[in-house]
Amino acid sequence: MAALPPDSFHPDKTSDRAMTRRTFLRSTAALSGLTALAASLSPLRELGDFTSTEEFLQKYYKELNPDEMAKVLKRIERDVERQYGIRPHVRDLKPMDGVEFVYCLNLTRCIGCRKCVHACVAENNLSRSPEIQYIRVLKLPHGSLDVEKADHNYTTKQVPEKGFFYMPVQCQQCKNPPCVKVCPVNATWQESDGITVIDYDWCIGCRYCEAACPYWARRFNFAKPEVPKERVNPNMSYLGNRPRKQGVMEKCHFCIQRTRAGRYPACLEVCPVGARKFGNILDPESEVSYILREKRVFIQLKEEMGTSPRFFYYFEK
C-alpha cells in the first residue's frame, strides 16, 4: 500500500478520493495481519530440512514388512548422505535367539577417565553441540553409595583421586522398564535380547520416559543435533545410532549396531583398565556369567525401585 501520488490532489473535488479514517484503519489492519501471518509461518522454513513426506507417512516399526523396511533404510541412507555427504550402511538388526545381554562394571577398576563417554559419543553419532552423552561418570567418596553425594562434573588434573571411586551410569536396560510403561505412543519397547529401544521416527518428544527413568539415562534433543561430517560413524542401525532429529528422545542401546553383529560395545573396547564386561547371560561360558558366579556382584543401582536392571556393578575380591 503506497501513498497516493501528489498529482491526484484536487482540492475542489476530492471528498470521494481522499483517505478516510475507515480506509486508513482497514489498510493498516490488513498490513499488520499479513505481517503477523508471515511471522507465524516463518518457522516452517526450517522444517523442510529434516521431515520428508515419506518419513511423515511411515508406518509403525513393528508393522513394517521387510520390503517396506528396506525402503525406509534406503530413505535414511539418502537423508544421511544429503545431510553429511557420506554414504552410510544402515541396517535393521534383529535380536538373536538365545541371547540376553548383560553388562557388568568393575568399580574397583574404574579410574574415572571418561574415555567410555567419548567413545560412545563417537560410535553413536551423538550431538556434539549441544552436547548429548549417554554415560555419566559419578565420582563418589569411599565408603558410601549415596548418589546424592556424587559429582559428575569433576575436573581434576589426574584420575583416580585418593579417597574416591567412580561409577559410570548409563541406561540400565531394565527388565521392568518404567520408561516403556509411560510412553503414550509405544515408541519405545523392550526387545527379546533385553535392549530397550526407541523408534526415533515414532517418538513424539513428550519426555514422559525421561521423567520416568530413575537413572536419568534418557536424553532429549532440545536443539537440532550437530555431528561433524568428519566424525560420522557410517555403520548405523535403525533402532540404534542413525542420526536423530530435533524433538526426539535417545539413550544408550548397548551399541545395537555392534552387539547384534556379535561385537563388543564401544565403551567396553575403549576402557583402558578393562572395567567393563559385556556378554550373553544365557551362555554359561560368557564373561558376564563368570562374573555373576565368581565376583562380589553387590548392586543393581536403585534396585529398591523394582526396575531389575541388566547392568551390574561389582567389586574385586
Partner 1 sequence: MDSDIQPPTRAGRIQTNWILAAVSATFLVMAGLFVANLWGRTAATPKVPLVDVQFLDPAPWRQTYTDLAKAKEDLSDFDCYGCHEKKKPPVIEYDEKHNIVLPKEHSNLKLGHGSHNRNNVCYNCHNEQNLVTFQARDGRELKFQDSTALCGSCHGPTYRDWEAGVHGRTSGYWDRSRGELQRLNCANCHDPHSPRIPTRAPAPPPRGLHEPATGPTPTAH
Residues 106, 275 contacting (CB under 8 angstroms)? yes
Tell me how far apart the alpha carbons of residues 268 and 103 are, in angstroms, rounded to a whole number: 10
Q: In the complex, what is the shortest distance from the CB of residue 238 to partner 1, in angstroms, rounded to a whole number?
A: 20
The residue among 78 and 118 lying less far from partner 1, judged by its C-beta, is 118
Q: How far is the CB of 72 from partner 1 (least distance, A)?
A: 26
CB under 8 Å to 86, separation ≥6 — which residues?
80, 229, 232, 234
Q: Is 189 or 290 the residue whose CB approaches partner 1 more closely?
A: 290
Between 77 and 269, CB nearer to partner 1: 269
Minimal distance, residue 271 CB to partner 1, in Å = 7
Q: What are phi and psi of 80, to 5 degrees?
A: -65, -40
Please state the closest distance from residue 90 (CB atom) to partner 1, in A. 20
First to last CA, the chain: 84
Rank residues 121 and 183 by Cβ distance to partner 1 and give the closer one: 121
Please, which residue, 115 or 175, has the CB nearer to partner 1? 115
Distance in angstroms (rounded) separating the CA atoms of residues 147 and 144: 8
In terms of CB distance, is 6 or 48 closer to partner 1? 6
Short-list 265, 253, 266, CA closest to 219: 253
What per-residue string of b and e applies to 19-48 under the rule 16 or more CB within 10 Å gives b?
eeeeeeeeeeeeeeeeeeeeeeeeeeeeee
C-alpha cell at position 117: 563417554
Give every CB contact of residue 95 below 8 A, 6+ residues apart in sequence: 191, 192, 193, 195, 260
Shortest distance in whole angstroms from residue 180 CB to partner 1: 22
Specify the residue, 154 or 189, whose C-beta has the smaller distance to partner 1. Answer: 154
CB 23 → partner 1: shortest distance, Å?
9
- Shortest approach of partner 1 to residue 5 CB, angstroms? 9
Give the residue among 135, 126, 134 at the shortest CA–CA distance from 228.
126
